[in-house]
A = this chain, B = another copy of it.
Amino acid sequence: MTRLPDSELVLVPGGTLITKTPEEGRALAMMMVRHTIHNIQPDLDALKEGRKTYSVDPDSLTAASQVVAIEFQTIAAANNYWRKN
């Protein structure tokens, strides 16, 4: 087992849901999903092994993109959708 470094286990990297742009909010969404998974499975070897299959399985990719979409709903709401007014 190769344990992930602590930085990969922070649940909300940066400690806030507020970002300057939608692009950064989206990147945060992706990172939050990954770090949740890191907390459930902190063994880098197991994660690498899993990546071999899910990264080439279209249904796995769709499922992963769905979790990102759900996290992004929260982050976008937190930022009032980055509306300028």
Contacts and interface: CB of A to CB of B under 8 A. Distances in A.
Given A23-B15, A26-B11, A36 B68 contact: yes
A4 interface: no
A17 B81 contact: yes
Nearest to A71: B69
Q: Specify how many copies of this chain sit in the oligomer.
A: 6
Give the interface residue-count category, chain A: 35 or more
Given A40-B65, A64-B62, A81 B70 contact: no
A45 to B, nearest CB: 10
A27 interface: yes
A61 B37 contact: yes
Nearest to A54: B58
